[in-house]
Structure 1
């Protein structure tokens, strides 16, 4: 049976799995859905139309699902959809979507949101993402799988963070970050590949070697446009999935700007 502390407030209409654990002084709104094994430690507020997947744990003073921080929001019935097995630590804030942004903020599975992180309205966050303390996502940001954001980093509206990329602490990210990329700086610049992450996730030496070659072909040449160089690199390193992922990220959408390295910096 659900274990609900006597001081918790559960509004009528809330849907709770049989084995949820809700600690002291939590407040769960009437449109909230909590999946199997979800635990709210204490002093957690879950509001709005918010779904929390199985096995997720939310720590004290997190504010989940309250009104988006967008003056255009007019009370639409939008959604915050949080996946399974996420760790949401103290003072984290997550907002639902807005009507003009698609209506859904979506969080994947197996993510860690450290203390005081923020996920803005209409963000799309993948699986196995780590946001270190005080890192923040503005509205409409796309974060692909296995991304790591360093402490106190900030990502501007509409930016994309490619899979397996890493954002350095204190970085301000204004433009898209390629998959497997590493960015640093108060106005973030590309600083090579996330080689440590690639090795930790058991990418082969051949795959890493091909990815480094493609990176150099794209970012250290001045022949043609970035998109043209990415297309050529994809052809030159055909058969390597990581190269395909990185180059497609550059070429598949038009009118995007990317974090790029300083002249002379390589992978």
Structure 2
């Protein structure tokens, strides 16, 4: 551990991702697979009343059921993304501290701290959304300042409010680095989405407006989204985690603390506690 430049943070992100691709892609895929199964089942069993053709019922009950299931799918997808991102943070923390990391133990730790992690991510998300609603710039700035909120919460076992305060303290004077990390993740993610959308739009479903073809195209869209999430989510989780450790090294000499007493943190394989409080 040593202070890193932005280029070194990104280089370490991709080198770590490349060396442990199956680990990170697996952690990202496990929760996403549950959402994918729900989405495919929803599309097959509950046709879209707006694009399903004349044979599909458009009663208020049918529309309400479709809307309810769409809302449930949204909640599941946000929870899935949170679990995947948190699992990746756990794995990076293990690897950064010289310990073995597995998909099972990372997911298990996230589930043991599930509601705290959900509260952590959703509270920071609300802060970012409120900033965007008033002005775009404050929302982007909040996102940069809260980038290490999840690693701080998981590694130091802090609650949602404390994690936000901790992230703001660590990223003070380093919001620019957070912005470039988020920008890179956004460019990669949306490039993949645009490429997939172009391929699906070229298919017969959207051209002929045939309900069956439209439904098939939507299923392909879900499959593509699953693949994109599995590939892109680790980039944000790894880079945010490395950024977090870099900030602790810079501001708290965490590298010296760890070298002098690597067993000082409350961390055991049995409880998976990752507290590294100074």
TM-score, scaled to structure 2:
0.23
**RCO higher in 1 or 2 (8 Å CA, sep ≥ 6)?**
2
As a proportion of its length, which structure holds more helix? 2
TM-score when normalising by structure 1: 0.24
Bigger proportion of residues as strand: 1
